[in-house]
Structure 1
Amino acid sequence: MPRDHRRPRSSIPATNGSVVDGDREGSESLPSGPTEYHRFLLAPDYRWWKAVLAIVLIPVAYVVSTFTLTWGLVFVSESFDLGLVPPETPGDGVVTMSPARLLASNLAIALMVPVSLGLQRLLFGQSGRWMHSVHGRFRWKLALTLAGALVPVWIAYGIVWTTLNREAAGVSGPPATLMSTFVLFVVVLLTSPLQAAGEEYAARGLLARSFGSFAKQPALALLLALLVPNLMFTVIHGLADPWLVVYTFVAGFACAVITWRTGGIEGAVVLHAVNNTILFLVASFFSSEVTIDRSSGHGEAMVPGIILMVLATAGVWLWAQRRAVARLRGSVRRPPGEPVNSRMH
């Protein structure tokens, strides 16, 4: 019988006595043993400078994509007098989202999904499927289950909150018409989930993993992954109102916690997408354009949103715990005759 000259794969005992796959799968560089989402870059060939490079390149890519699409739209609109982008007052912190501007902004941020997946592959030798979750795939069952629970809650919240806080919701502009509602509705429905995914794959995906890779102690690694990317995420929004700052940080922190507790980015994408999409969809019935005011004055209206984000995070945490959602990477080889684990992956 010919000898097998392939490189042997390392085997590491798991906590339940079974065996976990080693550090490589095909041509990919993967961590050894059971690994949480935010520590996934810590493969045997990990280099700290690659994480630093990822942290630098993500904001650069964000600025380039936003400048190219958003400001490119402004240039074209003004050059040909198309009226696609309402005029702004420099320095007032108010951005009016016409359908065209919202489309350009959403697509610019959505580009962060392929950018994040590509950087993970290029710098760390891990294909994009490992950024979806520690199980190497996007868990559609988990995502759809959470969406089914969150969508009805956010529809009720969105209608009530927008009705009571029109200025904070950005619907104090020209009244909606049938055509404006249709156009804005379609743009929001098709691109806002992509925008939310772009922010999640960049902030709670590659950035969180990069910061989490700097510490050997699990608790410190988790703290870095949860806090630092969300501070960056909050700062980049350019907010002036303290309540808006708190709201944005809490929303990002909620997505980070859900990613950690479920072992993947799916739940964070769902929460972010449900929040953004439904609030914009509701706004499309009130106004022909949505105004985003980053200045001070209406931030206290975000308190209900802060509370809802906290409750949603607690609910997902308890649900994941009750359903025993696996949050550690590790392809377990079961002994013959052992029943298949019924956990949701």
Structure 2
Amino acid sequence: MAPAPLILLVGSAAWPTGPASRAWQALQDAAPGALLQPAIAGVRLGAEVDGVWLMAPPPGEPAEVHDATIGDALHLGIPLLGSLAGPEVGGRGEELTRAPGSRWRLEGTVDAAPVLGLEGHPFARLTGAALTATEGPHLLVTGLARAAGARAAQRPEARPATPAPPGTAAVPSSWPATPVPPGMPAPPPPMVSPGPSGWAPLPDDGTPRPYVHQMRTSGYRWWRPFLALAVGIGSYLAFSCIIGAAWLIADPDMMSIEGIEDVDLLDPRTMLFNNLTLAALIPAVLLATRVGHWRPAGRIWSVTGRLRWRWLAQAGLVTLLLWGGYLAMAWLLGGGETSSRPEHLGWLLVITLLTTPLQAAGEEVAFRGALLQGVGAWIRNPVVAIVVGTVLSTGLFAAAHGSPDPWTLIDLGGMAAATCYLTWRTGGIEAATALHVVNNLVITVGLLLLGGLESAYVTGETSGNAAASLISLVATAGMTLVLVEVAKRVGVAPARPGRPAEG
């Protein structure tokens, strides 16, 4: 015998009278024996819940109070029923239908009222129909009851309660069903407390999105990218001031430096604090994402909401073999000249290995992560978003290195455009970071051992030529295609050409 479904009536504003009591009776009629439970607005759902009916928020509460519940239901695949209008206002249904990339669709009408459904979800319905005004259960209430019953039937009868996701309140599955006297609602069991919400990120509507649209969810507002930019710049300046103060303490001679040309690039302290300053972009961007966009900071890494370490390692190994070989060949074909090693070789090698990956990752988080997602939040079409974002990322990344030489700018721009495409196709910055890290590590370690590290830094005096830039562009394009092919083989990127990974 399958366990009885557990259905929550969320946000019951009046008990035991009013729409809540009628909804309770309707569910008892539609699903005899179901475990019905009232829950206060804002409740966080666990996997034990089999269905949710969103009632009117308590007096004085905004419609947004249901957002966390809606997000949990869509994420966990829990059947959901709510109203677009009338006494049972189930969250911001109309706003969800207008959300960029939303899968909410008009399915038809019931009682002359629209019914919206969510593609790919077992049962998610929003309607303007009066769900408790009919004699007997409304057909949508019956649909919710059936979907909840089907969900409950998929679990073993004696299955223990499934732990709720972090930050949610698990709902016990052992509440007994309460007989309902004719015409009277059942007395409510203990109320379910909402999970922590003050710092909970905005829920999305469960719609898979490409990387550039990770900040463009149902909670998107036009001003959020500006807020994220302000938070990012402010926090980065704060981190930089702390690092700069430590630099001056470690190297007081920096106080007498008049220009960048006077900085000793082979001083271990210079390399350390320069790398740490760029690495500070990582916490600054994560904070900007969390506070400015009010989204989980992990979305900056990938569409999965986390850094995919396995994919990062796979991309890094392939890049080390191919790109490292290309750089070695380019050095040999360029004459293969050597010079004396720097005085502090040991310290420079240690600092390079420990902090250069952080420096490269910081640049990727800023130029491929925050920039692409910030621009993408404003642009509805994802293809237009990645094109505009790539143009801006390419220009800013090339200009940030300080060289006015056109061939150097083309070389840097080619790398920036390639990493933007990798981010688009793979749904994260791991491949772009792997390419950037390997490039910087191989060049820095190689020139430390062979001599000539000063020439590796791009400054205002750096210049290039057409032949070198063309070879670099071809090599970068080839490396990009290889990484995309590897991503397709390991299931990170879609097999369809040009299609972005989503999540």
Same fold (TM over 0.5): yes
Deviates most, 297-306 or 217-226? 297-306
**Which structure exhibits the higher relative contact order, with contacts defined as CA atoms closer than 8 Å and separated by 6 or more residues?**
1
Aligned pair partner of 2:387 in 215, 223, 242: 223
3-state SS of the aligned residue for 2:265?
A: strand
Are 2:336 and 1:160 equivalent residues in the alignment?
A: no
Matched, 1:9 2:101: no
- Three-state SS of the structure 2 residue aligned to 1:261 is helix
Match of 1:200 in 2: 364
1:304 equivalent to 2:453? Answer no
| Residue 120 of structure 2 is aligned to residue 18 of structure 1 | yes
Q: 1:316 aligns with which of 479, 483, 491?
A: 483
1:41 and 1:209 in contact (8 A); partners too: yes
1:145 aligns with 2:206: no
Structure 2: state its 5+ residue gaps: 1-35, 44-65, 75-102, 106-118, 125-166, 169-199, 494-499
Shift of 1:91: 7.7
Does structure 2 conserve the Cα–Cα contact (< 8 Å) formed by 1:242 and 1:296? no
Aligned counterpart, 1:48: 222
Stretch deviating more after TM superposition (216-225 or 36-45): 216-225
CA distance in 1: counterparts of 2:230 and 2:403, whole angstroms: 22
String of CA shifts for 1:84-120, please: whole Å, max 9, x gaps: x9x78x4879973432211111100001111100110
Q: What secondary structure sits across from 2:251 in the alignment?
A: helix
Superposition deviation, residue 163 in structure 1: 4.6
Q: Distance in 2 between matches of 1:80 and 1:321?
A: 49
Change (3 A) 1:274 1:21: farther
1:230 is displaced (CA, Å) by 2.5
The aligned runs of 1:180-259 (5 Å cut-off) are 180-259=344-423
Instruction: Give the whole-Å Cα distance in 1 for the aligned partners of 2:309 and 2:354.
Output: 18
Residue matched to 2:296:
127
Instruction: Indicate the structure with greater helix content.
Output: 1
C-alpha separation between the residues in 2 aligned to 1:262 and 1:246? 24
Give the corresponding residue for 1:343.
none
Counterpart of 1:262 in structure 2 is 426
Instruction: Name the amino acid aligned to 1:294.
Output: T
Do the aligned residues in 2 keep the contact of 1:102 with 1:187 (CA within 8 Å)? yes
Aligned in 2, Cα 1:236/1:72: closer, same or farther, shift over 3 Å? farther
What letter matches 2:350 in structure 1? V
Residue type at the aligned position of 2:292: L
Which amino acid counterpart does residue 231 of structure 1 have in structure 2? Answer: G
Q: TM-score, normalised by structure 1?
A: 0.78
Cα distance change of structure 1 residues 20 and 145 upon mapping to structure 2, 3 Å threshold: farther
The CA distance in 1 between the partners of 2:405 and 2:263, in whole Å, is 12
Bigger shift: residues 152-161 or 251-260: 152-161
Change (3 A) 1:319 1:76: closer
Q: Secondary structure at the match of 1:3?
A: strand
CA distance in 2, matches of 1:21, 1:138: 31
Which residue of the partner structure matches residue 337 of structure 1?
Answer: none
CA contact (8 A) 1:95 1:293 kept: no
SS in 2 for 1:2: strand
Aligned residue in 2 for 1:336: none
Q: 1:297 to 1:208 in 2, by over 3 A?
A: closer
Label 1:101 to 1:285 Cα distance change in 2 as closer, same or farther (>3 A).
same
Alignment of 1:102-121 (within 5 A): 102-121=271-290
Q: Name the residue aligned to 1:340.
A: none
**TM-score when scaled to structure 2?**
0.56
How far did 1:67 drift?
Answer: 6.4
Measured against aligned partners, the alpha-carbon deviations of 1:109-138 in whole angstroms (never above 9, x if no partner) come to 001111100110011221222211111111
Does structure 1 residue 294 correspond to structure 2 residue 459?
yes
Contact 1:103 1:191 in 2 (8 A): yes
Residues 30-50 of structure 1: CA deviation (Å, up to 9, x unaligned): 443110111111122212222
Percent pairwise identity: 24
Q: Is 1:175 paired with 2:349?
A: no
Amino acid in structure 2 at the alignment position of 1:305: S
* CA distance in structure 2 between the aligned counterparts of 1:212 and 1:244, rounded to whole angstroms: 28
- Report the RMSD for the aligned CA atoms in angstroms: 3.5
In 2, the alpha carbon distance for the partners of 1:293 and 1:206 equals 23
Query: How far is the alpha carbon of 1:262 from its aligned partner?
Result: 0.5
Determine the C-alpha separation between the residues in 2 that align with 1:207 and 1:266.
16
Three-state SS of the structure 2 residue aligned to 1:44 is coil
For residues 71 and 271 of structure 1, what CA distance do their matches in structure 2 show? Answer: 32
Paired AA for residue 312 in structure 1: M
User: How many angstroms apart in 2 are the aligned matches of 1:202 and 1:20?
Assistant: 38
> Number of paired residues?
317
CA change 1:71–1:286 in 2 (3 A) is: farther
Go from structure 1 to structure 2 and tell me whether the alpha carbon gap of 1:118 and 1:60 turns closer, same or farther (over 3 Å shift): closer
Mean Cα deviation higher: 114-123 or 311-320: 311-320
Larger Cα-atom Rg:
2
Q: Which residue of 1 aligns with 2:115?
A: none
1:322 CA drift (Å)? 3.9
CA contact (8 A) 1:30 1:40 kept: no
Q: Is the 8 A contact 1:92 1:295 kept in 2?
A: no
- Post-superposition offset of 1:146: 0.9
